[in-house]
DNA sequence: TTGTAGGCGTTATCAC
DNA sequence: GTGATAACGCCTACAA
């Protein structure tokens, strides 16, 4: 420990501990490592451990990694940390990894294929032991790249058809089916859908859930009442709903593929002079923070974000300890959170229903002629 | 590179590059390192670089760290990543660090002194080159601990009186003063304050800004119209506003020390049957995501979160390259974002003003007798 | 059960 | 300019 005038300079090394305990560094190493402690006599092991504690010995992870070729570091790729979806997932991952002595290196890809490749390479250079990928693009060149390097991979919110990677996802399909069942239960018969991008597994799964939910409720899907957003954004929600309105909104409820789209739906309805939920019910997906503070508070599907993170980390840790364990594909059940944006459809009585729809049409026309923003 | 049947196995090392270029590993090392490249003849350097590129050589950071005792890693301590305040800051830090070949290790302390110490020790064990601390507690044992280890420190949103650490903060004082000026400009004369915890520098600075703003506008501070929250939470905002109401809300505007508190103010006003902004204007601080989607959209002070992160990383990088650079204390100017929650006080005309206040009092009594939640 | 020796991949410090 | 050599701190055959 390079003792200088009784003061500890720099870091305490294994040699210092060994010296203090009066043993050879190799013995100290064995005593300190739980895996090999059995090889050393109980008494000596105790002496070494005491010495280590008294010197506040911390093994140097670089030296250890250099030898063992494991960095105790896991790379985590996400699109963007400032998207409120990800912080809870990241925290879940970090907490679970930390408990096992690992740390996460988080990289933001901004949904950019090239940036993702760059981040991935950087992390490979840092010798991460594995990758947790929460990026949703279906193109698989990245996965190939990592898989070829024989680095363990865990997918988050993304399932590859061949099921060769362990993954943790929320059950998007089941969640959206629940949403439709909820609306059908309220009495809605004509339900529109602002679907997400179909090249993202979330968008795809939720759309499938919509179709299945409609079928299960014995309802027909009107093709003119389904619009596909090109991204999960307010702007796209607004655009899609305008399209719905332009096609003649025959629906009394709109299922949005996520909360951001739902915000756009709100905006479009407001613009068209339609009230939510009195005229149209709206449902989102994700239960984002503060979504309960909107007017009206948005009915949404809660996503166990944090648990998705801890489970993903858990799968990674399993993969890192026994490489042979079978591939697990885990789905976490979502939960429907009913708030003020859904209620029974307007005017169940025939006469009032007719009036209601008449009113809707009139407003629609106004909406169509309003300038696009 | 352990060439086996023409296929690259495992990792390419410096030796492989040297061999390929026909030079000694030491020379290859010098050629590859920009700092020492000048020591090598141009032609040889070129040969080495070509060899490295053709083999796709990636230096092993562990081996390098072991030798240089620098991990190119910076520890970042934050209270909680799921607090929407932090993701943009963290991203700013990560982006700026990444551009310089560093990575951030993020640790969540949950505002817990012990956890913070634990995280800090773990990071020290991983040999981080520096700490960026975005934890706001005023107690300084942690700083001492890190400073004693002679590890560079940069503070975020926190200034130590002695100014011994570089820091980046938003100018809380100026921001709140701006808020008061805005309200005074609208005609408000009696302004209440839901202040933050005074042991946090944010809470302290904003309260000072409130006092200065009032003084600057020539307004008096009514002590009964200032309540101190014990934490930056909706619940505390609610509690404090109830206290304000119980004391007889003489004010026509409430300045909350952050947006979470402002949400609590909204709730309390609603509970008391008071309308915002018709009866009472409300201002928050931070401009959190989606705060513009509230009813009414909250007037708030925008905090250049991302830039705080990049600047903090910048200060750290400067510190890491020239240890001797002078300590910089940086304040970033906030921006007032005026939305629907502020408007001129009700009833400028004498008669209507009296009616208005009468109404307020009646509602207040109802509020006081309502059960606490 | 413990000690010895060599090496993980890199860089710093010598020589040449 | 370049090559040789010795670390950095730890782990692990192998020998004793």
The reply to whether A184 and A92 lie within a common domain is no
The least confident of A17-21, A105-109, A161-165, B360-364 is: B360-364
Query: What is the per-residue pLDDT for B323?
Result: 67
pLDDT level of residue B124 (50, 70, 90 thresholds): confident
* Rounded Cα–Cα distance for residues A265 and A299 (Å): 13
Q: Would you place residue A359 in the very low, low, confident or very high pLDDT band (cuts 50, 70, 90)?
A: very low
**What's the CA gap between A337 and B132, in Å, rounded?**
38
Q: Is the pLDDT of residue B361 over 50?
A: no
Residues B24 and B79 in one domain: no
| A58 contacts B124? CB cut-off 8 A | yes
Say which residue the tokens 């005229």 belong to.
A279
Q: Percentages helix, strand, coil for chain B, rounded to the nearest 5?
A: 45, 15, 40
Tell me if A25 sits within 8 A of A15, measured CB to CB. yes
| Containing structural domain, residue A143 | 69-170+306-333
Summarize pLDDT for A61-83 with one digit per residue, the tens.
Answer: 889 888 888 899 999 999 999 98
Q: Residue A138's pLDDT band (boundaries 50, 70, 90)? A: low
Give the C-alpha distances (Å, rounded to integers) separating A4 from A1, B32, B67, B147: 9, 36, 22, 19
pLDDT at A164: 83
CATH of the domain at B53: 1.10.260.40
Q: pLDDT digits over B285-300, tens only?
A: 988 877 887 889 999 9
- CATH code assigned at B143: 3.40.50.2300
Among A79, A290, A309, pick the best mutation site for testing chain B contact (most B Cβ within 10 A). A290
Q: What is the mean pLDDT of residues A112-137?
A: 88
pLDDT in tens, B228-254: 999 999 999 999 999 999 988 789 999
Asked if residue A358 is part of any domain, the answer here is no
- DSSP single-letter state for residue A74: E
Both A89 and A142 in one domain: the answer is: yes
Q: Which class for A249: exposed (0-12), middle (13-18), buried (19 or more C-beta within 10 A)?
A: buried
Q: Do A293 and B63 touch (CB under 8 A)?
A: no
Residue B279: band (very low, low, confident or very high) from pLDDT cuts 50, 70, 90: very high
Asked whether residue B221 falls in the same domain as residue B320, the answer is: no
Q: Are residues A211 and A276 in the same domain?
A: yes
Find and list the nucleotides of strand C having atoms within 7 Å of a protein beta carbon.
1-5, 7-13
Residue A256's pLDDT band (cuts 50, 70, 90): very high
Residue B135 scores a pLDDT above 60:
yes
Look at B108 and A127 and tell me if their CB atoms are within 8 Å: no
On whether both A152 and A180 belong to a single domain, the answer is no
Residue B255 has a pLDDT of 98
Quote the percentage of chain A above a pLDDT of 70. Answer: 88
CA distance A95 to A100: 9
Please state, in angstroms and rounded to a whole number, the distance separating the CA atoms of residues B258 and B36.
51
Asked whether residue B160 falls in the same domain as residue B270, the answer is no
Q: What is the mean pLDDT of residues A244-255?
A: 92
Kindly tell me if the per-residue pLDDT of B2 is higher than 80: no
Closest A-chain CA to B267: A293
Residue A292's pLDDT is: 83
Q: How far is CA B74 from the centre of its chain?
A: 16
Average pLDDT over residues B326-349: 89
Chains A and B form CB pairs within 8 A to the count of 98
Q: How far, in Å, CA of B299 to CA of B283, rounded?
A: 5
What's the Rg (C-alpha) of chain B?
28
* Number of compact structural domains in chain B: 3
Q: Do A151 and A165 belong together in one domain? A: yes
Residue A3 has pLDDT above 80, yes or no: no
Beta strands per DSSP E along B171-208: 191-195
Q: What end-to-end distance do the CA atoms of chain B give, in Å?
A: 67
Instruction: Work out the number of other CB atoms within 10 angstroms of the CB of residue A183.
Output: 27
Residue A213 lies in a domain: yes
Give the pLDDT score at A306. 95
Question: Is residue B41 situated within a structural domain?
Answer: yes
* Higher-scoring residue by pLDDT: A149, B57: B57
Segment A140-175, tens digit of pLDDT: 777 877 777 788 999 998 777 676 889 999 899 999
Dihedral sign computed on CA atoms, order A187, A193, A196, A198: positive
> CA-to-C1' distance for B250 and C11, Å?
71
Nucleotides of D under 7 A from a protein CB: 1-5, 7-13
Q: Tokens 């479009």 identify what position? A: A268
Q: How far is the CA of B63 from the C1' of C13 (A)?
A: 18
Nearest chain B residue to A88, by CA? B82
- Using a CB-CB cut-off of 8 Å, the residues of chain B touching A71 are 62
**Average confidence score pLDDT of chain B:** 85
pLDDT, tens only, B173-217: 999 999 999 999 999 999 999 999 998 888 999 999 999 999 999
State how far Cα B310 lies from the chain centre: 11
CA-to-CA separations, B312 to B122, B140, B266, B326, in angstroms, rounded: 22, 19, 34, 15
Decide if A289 and B124 are in contact by the 8 Å CB cutoff. Answer: no
Q: Is residue B64 one of the residues assigned to a domain?
A: no
Taking an 8 Å Cβ-Cβ cutoff, which residues of chain A contact chain B?
58-63, 65-66, 71, 80-82, 84, 86-88, 90-91, 94-95, 98, 103-108, 122, 124-127, 263, 288-291, 293-295
Give the one of A86, A91, A107 whose C-beta lies nearest to B108's C-beta.
Answer: A91
> What's the mean pLDDT when you consider all of chain A?
85
- Residue A142 within a domain: yes
């Amino acid at each position: 420990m390079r003792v200088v005038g009784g003061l500890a300079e720099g870091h305490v090394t294994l040699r210092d501990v060994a010296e203090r305990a009066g043993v050879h560094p190799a013995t100290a190493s064995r005593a300190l490592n739980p895996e090999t402690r059995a090889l050393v006599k109980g008494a000596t092991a105790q002496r070494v451990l005491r010495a280590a504690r008294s010197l506040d010995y911390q093994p140097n992870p670089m030296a250890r990694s250099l030898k063992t070729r494991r960095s105790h570091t896991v790379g985590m790729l996400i699109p963007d940390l400032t998207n409120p979806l990800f912080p809870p997932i990241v925290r879940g991952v970090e907490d679970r990894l930390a408990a096992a002595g690992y740390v996460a290196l988080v990289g933001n890809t901004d949904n950019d294929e090239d940036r993702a490749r760059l981040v991935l390479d950087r992390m490979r250079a840092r010798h991460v032991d594995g990758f947790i990928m929460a990026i949703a693009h279906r193109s698989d060149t990245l996965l190939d790249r990592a898989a070829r390097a024989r680095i363990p991979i865990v997918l988050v919110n993304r399932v590859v058809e061949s099921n060769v990677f362990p993954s943790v996802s929320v059950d998007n399909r089941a969640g959206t089916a629940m949403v439709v069942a909820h609306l059908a239960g309220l009495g809605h018969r004509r339900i529109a859908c602002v679907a997400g991008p179909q090249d993202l597994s979330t968008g795809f799964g939720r759309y499938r859930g919509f179709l299945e939910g409609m079928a299960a409720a014995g309802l027909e899907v009107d093709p003119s009442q389904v619009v596909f957003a090109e991204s999960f954004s307010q702007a796209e929600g607004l655009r899609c709903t305008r399209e719905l309105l332009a096609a003649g909104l025959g629906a009394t409820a709109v299922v949005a593929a996520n909360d951001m789209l739902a915000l756009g739906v709100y905006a479009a309805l407001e613009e068209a002079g339609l009230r939510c939920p009195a005229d149209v019910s709206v449902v989102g997906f994700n239960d984002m923070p503060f979504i309960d503070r909107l007017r009206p508070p948005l009915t949404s599907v809660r996503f166990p974000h944090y648990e998705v993170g801890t489970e993903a980390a858990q799968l990674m840790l399993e993969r890192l300890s026994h490489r042979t364990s079978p591939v697990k594909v885990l789905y976490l059940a979502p939960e429907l959170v009913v708030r003020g944006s859904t209620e029974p459809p307007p005017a169940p009585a025939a006469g009032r229903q007719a009036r209601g729809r008449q009113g809707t049409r009139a407003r629609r026309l106004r909406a169509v002629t309003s300038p696009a923003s």
